[in-house]
Amino acid sequence: MKLYTALSLFCLGAGALTMLAPAGCSSDDSNGGSSGTTPASAGRVPPSPPSGAAPATLGDSKTFAVNSLFLGETNRDKSPNPRDGWKDYGYNLDSLTTAKDSKDVCTRVGGADSAKQEDGKEGIDNAFGKTILSFILGLVPTPSKTLNDSISSGAFTIMLDVKGLTDDPNQSATGLSARLLVGGPFDQTSTDPATAKKPTFTPADDWPYRANPIVPIEGAYINNGTFVNGSKGATVELSLFIQGVALTLNIRNAIITFDHKTPTDLSNGTIAGVVSTEELVTGIEKVAGRISEQLCSGNTLETIKTTIRQASDILSDGTNRAGVPCDAISIGIGFTGKQIGNPKTVAKEEAAPADPCKGGADAGP
């Protein structure tokens, strides 16, 4: 199984944003009590819109390319922390600190271990990091590093094209706007990774972007140097390219934040939200054979699907309540970025390879 293609599934190998309604989320462990009632807690949340701040001046845009992704097996300084690193990625989306014995939350899939769904620090909801990442770590010990090596080589990136940012590290303003673009291969002329031109992650780079999807972010704000994608939440649409075929998923009710403390850097970036469980299962079924023919069917594929379903800790509409089956997974991912040149080149579209599970060409999902 190729690690990059398998992990692209969860790592924003491509994406787009559309603004939607506010989010809610849940997990299932940590500081509750034997009463089964989940205590309310503000926990870790993004900063509020700055009170009394003037609207940003929307002049020229600044484009930043993601140069590091953090799935949760490391701390943000990249030091190894496979047991507890995930606890620092995400937000407390449901304003609860849910424990393994909580009873006022959605009903989990049969066979799911309640101890696998504990909250992270300050009530952070990240069942992906707690459960699915631990499954990935059973295959590969350093998945984030492998993805970041791919980014460094120019295989892919995510780009944020932002209007309204200044060089003030303490900037506070409302009314910023942005676009999220998907970076294709940096070198559009070479098919050999060993000789392909590599990005410099400086304004000299014109990183080719995919024509679709490109989705705007409206109503964003920045509070004392911390950018927030808006008070209404977002859907992060992931069009992930696995063996040349797109896997499209959504992180719903997403919160996207980053610190802009130096002019050319984004730090402490976070994407948090919920993923529909069956969307993820269906998406994996469609691309599994391109990762490995052993995943066309059989016990390995069924184990992956079961692991995903047992990670469910929230409802797909972003709410959480007792008596309803959990049908989504909370997720938190970290990132950093560097300023590059505003992109001018559209990436070439690649033809989809044959689907080995079907024995013929397939345009993908």
DSSP 125: -
Name the range with the highest mean pLDDT among 25-29, 52-56, 102-106, 359-363.
52-56
Over residues 117-125, the mean pLDDT reads 84
1 or 280, greater pLDDT: 280
pLDDT band at 364 (very low <50, low <70, confident <90, very high): very low
Which position has the token pair 């398998």? Answer: 6
Asked if residue 54 belongs to a domain, the reply is: no
Backbone Cα Rg of the chain: 20
Residue 115 lies in a domain: yes
Average pLDDT of the segment spanning 51-67: 95
Q: Does residue 55 lie in a domain region?
A: no
CA dihedral 19, 61, 335, 13 (to 10 degrees): 70
Helix (H, G, I), strand (E, B) or coil at 151: helix
Gap between the Cα atoms of 91 and 273, Å rounded: 8
Query: What pLDDT, on a 0 to 100 scale, did the predictor assign at position 112?
Result: 86
Residue 300, both tokens: 């390995």
E-assigned strand segments in 4-153: 16-19, 62-70
Supply the pLDDT for residue 100: 78
**What is the arithmetic mean of pLDDT over 166-190?**
93
Q: 139-175 as b/e, with b when 16 or more CB fall inside 10 Å?
A: eeebbbbbbbebbebbbbbbbbbbbbbeeeeebbbbb
Q: Which of 167-171, 236-240, 298-302 has the lowest mean pLDDT?
A: 236-240
- Give yes or no for a contact between 283 and 9, defined as CB atoms under 8 angstroms apart: yes
Q: Are 122 and 43 in contact (CB under 8 A)?
A: yes
Whose tokens are 């020229």? That residue is 60
Q: Say what the pLDDT of residue 268 is.
A: 97
Asked whether 210 and 181 are in contact (CB, 8 A), the reply is: yes
The domain in which residue 242 lies consists of 3-45+63-348
For 190, half-sphere exposure in the C-beta direction (CA atoms, 13 angstrom radius) is 12
Nearest CA-CA partner of 290 in 349, 236, 352:
352
Torsion of Cα atoms, 8 then 11 then 16 then 17, to 10°: 150
Asked whether residue 75 is assigned to any structural domain, the reply reads yes
Q: Does 51 reside within a domain?
A: no
Question: What CA dihedral angle connects 243, 244, 250 and 256, to 10 degrees?
Answer: 90
Q: What is the pLDDT of residue 278?
A: 94
Instruction: Indicate the number of domains in the chain.
Output: 1
Check residues 232 and 333 and name the one with the higher pLDDT: 333
Q: Give the Cα separation of 250 and 115 in Å (integer).
A: 26
- Which residues lie closer than 8 Å to 295 by C-beta, 6 or more apart? 1, 288, 289, 301, 304
Nearest by Cα to 236 from 66, 63, 44: 66
Mean of per-residue pLDDT scores for the chain: 81
Residue 364 within a domain:
no
Residue partners of 119: CB distance under 8 A and separation at least 6: 27, 29, 30, 31, 43, 87, 92, 97, 98, 125
Which pLDDT does position 26 carry in this prediction?
38
What was the pLDDT predicted at 214?
81
| Predicted local distance difference test score (pLDDT) of residue 343 | 93
Q: How confident is the model at residue 38 (pLDDT cuts 50, 70, 90)?
A: low
In this structure, are residues 86 and 74 in contact, taking their beta carbons and an 8 Å threshold? no
- The distance of Cα 132 from the centroid of its chain, to the nearest Å, equals 13
Statement: residue 345 has pLDDT above 80: yes
Domain assignment present for residue 50? The answer is no
Q: Rounded to two decimals, what is the model's pTM?
A: 0.83
pLDDT at residue number 37: 56
For residue 210, which of 177, 265, 248 has the smallest C-alpha distance? 248
Cα 328 from chain centroid (whole Å):
14
**Distance between CA atoms of 94 and 314, rounded to whole angstroms?**
9
Pairwise CA distance, residues 41 & 94, whole Å: 9
Residue 78 backbone zone (phi > 0: left; psi -120 to 50: alpha; other: beta): left
Q: How high is the pLDDT of residue 244?
A: 52
